[in-house]
A and B are shown apart, each in its own frame.
Chain A
Amino acid sequence: MANPASALTKNEKMGSDPILRTRDVTMRFGGLTAVKSLTMTVPRQSLYGLIGPNGAGKTTVFNVLTGVYCPTEGEIEFDGTHIEKKKPYEITRLGAARTFQNIRLFADMTVLENVMTAHHLRSRQRLPDAVLGTGRHRAEEKETRERAMQLLTIFNLDKFANEAATSLPYGSQRRLEIARALATEPKLLLLDEPAAGMNPHEALDLMRLIRWLRDEMKLTILLVEHNMKVVMGICETIQVIDYGEEIAIGSPAEIQKNPKVIEAYLGGG
């Protein structure tokens, strides 16, 4: 069966390498094994989903991939670089940005400031520039502000630019978090339950947005989700984990028919 991902990789270099590859990643907290021997291969510009019953360790996987935790065992390769021991900000600089399951916006800032802040890592300013208020500083401030406004416009948040970030309705806050992550100019976007708390209408908009991000901005999207409509609707490859271990991987159609997956979700162990 045709794999949509392979059609895109024609635009990549020869021997299309995956943007993210993990090998036997294990995460242990004392006696608890949260993630067991996880192996993932995420093709460039694909829409990759990670699902599993509650407590399956999905957010832990995210935290390991983004450097919040250092994996107890295993290797993680992002865009050709080993990142197992890297700190979160280093990984973001390499081009992998994330959102959070419990929204973590900068509460004391406005909507615009939230997005402008994420541009920090691409800034070429140095401290003396800021202190002295040089031309370079002012030019860059202007550029940062414009880019941030552009992003807000794409996400339909531009009219809220000077509102406090936390005054936005929940669904808009989630979109803001994605906009903020985009300001870091990533190649890979990791979305942690982006559809949580959204009504069906908002979820549909989100799906359109995610597809647009992949198609127009050429991003790879890796998402963790509970909302099955969203996952089955947009993901090309889905990996199912339970108790930190992979139990299935494949296209949405394959996953829906997989008996192990059905059992994990409906009961048994």
Chain B
Amino acid sequence: MDTFLQQFINGLSLGAIYALIALGYTMVYGVLRLINFAHGDVYMLGAFAGYYLANSLNLDANPSVLGAIVVTIGAMAIAAAIGIVIERFAYRPVRHHSRLTSLITAIGVSLLLEYGGQVVFGATPRFFPQMISSRTYSLGNVQITNQSLMIIVVAVIMMFGLEFIVHRTKIGKAMRAVSFNLPVARLMGINTDFVIAFTFALGSALAAVAGVLVALSIPRIDPLMGLMTGLKAFVAAVLGGIGSIPGAMLGGMLIGLMETWISATAYSTYRDAMAFAVLILILLFRPAGILGTSVTEKV
């Protein structure tokens, strides 16, 4: 029972990371029907942004919660800007081309960020400074680090914040309108370009939070860290129902739990393949995902 609880907490912590990234995928897919392949790399850039910020604030020497918050917000801002730039210069020009053209463009941006990252940051991994001194709490036989706890708590706060924006603000309403029907939303007077840019900014900011949080517990960051994590977060979004925000959260948690569980078994080398297996099963048996709705083509 104790190991189960331990794995459960670890799984939730990992799941929270996936959920934060998955939210970006699902929101962009919701408004543009585009799979933003580059999103995982924005997560990576968020981590690197945090790295440089944390170093400039010398947090390694003086870890502090305030410092961590500043770093996180800074990383969010930088990632949001990057998201807006990517959308404006890479995706908007191809918005009216075929969906496949947009997909290939997204792949191109992803490769650009990865290879570019390797040129700018160097391929060798960096080590994120410890922004908050580590502490482990014990609940009976279960060990929980304060990092795991913080990841879960921060993630939940972010998700509530997102729900608030989407359901209780004007821009959120505009986002929902655009994801229902873009041309009609435009006709209704909504500045769709702004809404789309905002969606990218929001998703990228959340990915940056994930990047900083992950660096807390696994301080090793490198330019290719977004590849696998991004793909798995995408699977999480599809699992929950792509286009659905609660779906992304649920999917993220489930993937995190499944991955943690499989890592503890004899099949841990197949850990990465598991996510793809889940993806395939979902797309074959319930393509709309757990919380999504299916759309049929009019004949």
Q: What is the chain B residue whose CB lies nearest that of A192?
A: B299
CA distance A68 to B297 in the complex (A): 11
Q: Mark A61-94, 1 if CB is under 8 A from B, else 0.
A: 0010000100000000000000000000000000
Report if A106 contacts B (CB, 8 A).
no
Q: Mark B282-299, 1 if CB is under 8 A from A, else 0.
A: 000000000000000001
CA distance A100 to B299 in the complex (A): 8
CB distance from B298 to the nearest CB of A (A): 9
Collect the chain B residues with CB atoms within 8 Å of residue A63's CB. Answer: 299
CB distance from B60 to the nearest CB of A (A): 58
CA distance A59 to B299 in the complex (A): 9
Within 8 A of B (CB), among A171-197: none
Collect the chain A residues with CB atoms within 8 Å of residue B299's CB. Answer: 59, 63, 68, 100
Collect the chain B residues with CB atoms within 8 Å of residue A100's CB. Answer: 299
Interface of B is mostly: loop
CA distance A17 to B299 in the complex (A): 30
Q: What is the chain A residue whose CB lies nearest that of B297?
A: A68
CB distance from B185 to the nearest CB of A (A): 24
CA distance A68 to B298 in the complex (A): 10
Q: What is the chain A residue whose CB lies nearest that of B296?
A: A29
CA distance A225 to B101 in the complex (A): 39
Within 8 A of A (CB), among B93-133: none
CA distance A156 to B179 in the complex (A): 46
CA distance A68 to B296 in the complex (A): 11
CA distance A112 to B299 in the complex (A): 24
Q: Mark A158-170, 1 if CB is under 8 A from B, else 0.
A: 0000000000000
CB distance from A238 to the nearest CB of B (A): 24
Q: What is the chain B residue whose CB lies nearest that of A29?
A: B296
CB distance from A37 to the nearest CB of B (A): 22
Within 8 A of A (CB), among B250-299: 299
Within 8 A of B (CB), among A49-63: 59, 63
CA distance A257 to B299 in the complex (A): 33
CA distance A3 to B216 in the complex (A): 85
CA distance A68 to B299 in the complex (A): 8
CB distance from A250 to the nearest CB of B (A): 29
CA distance A138 to B299 in the complex (A): 35
Collect the chain B residues with CB atoms within 8 Å of residue A59's CB. Answer: 299
Q: What is the chain B residue whose CB lies nearest that of A63?
A: B299
CA distance A133 to B16 in the complex (A): 58
CA distance A238 to B299 in the complex (A): 24
CB distance from A267 to the nearest CB of B (A): 27
Collect the chain B residues with CB atoms within 8 Å of residue A68's CB. Answer: 299
Within 8 A of A (CB), among B179-196: none
CB distance from B63 to the nearest CB of A (A): 56
Within 8 A of B (CB), among A89-134: 100
CA distance A100 to B297 in the complex (A): 14
CB distance from A44 to the nearest CB of B (A): 27
CB distance from B297 to the nearest CB of A (A): 10
CA distance A22 to B200 in the complex (A): 52
CA distance A59 to B298 in the complex (A): 10
CA distance A32 to B299 in the complex (A): 17
CB distance from B206 to the nearest CB of A (A): 34
CB distance from B59 to the nearest CB of A (A): 55
CB distance from B223 to the nearest CB of A (A): 41
CB distance from A107 to the nearest CB of B (A): 13
Q: What is the chain B residue whose CB lies nearest that of A60?
A: B299
Q: What is the chain B residue whose CB lies nearest that of A101?
A: B299
CB distance from A134 to the nearest CB of B (A): 35
CB distance from B293 to the nearest CB of A (A): 11
Leading 4 A-B pairs by shortest Cβ distance: A68-B299, A63-B299, A100-B299, A59-B299
Q: List 4 A-B contacts (CB under 8 A).
A: A59-B299, A63-B299, A68-B299, A100-B299
A interface list, Cβ under 8 A from B: 59, 63, 68, 100
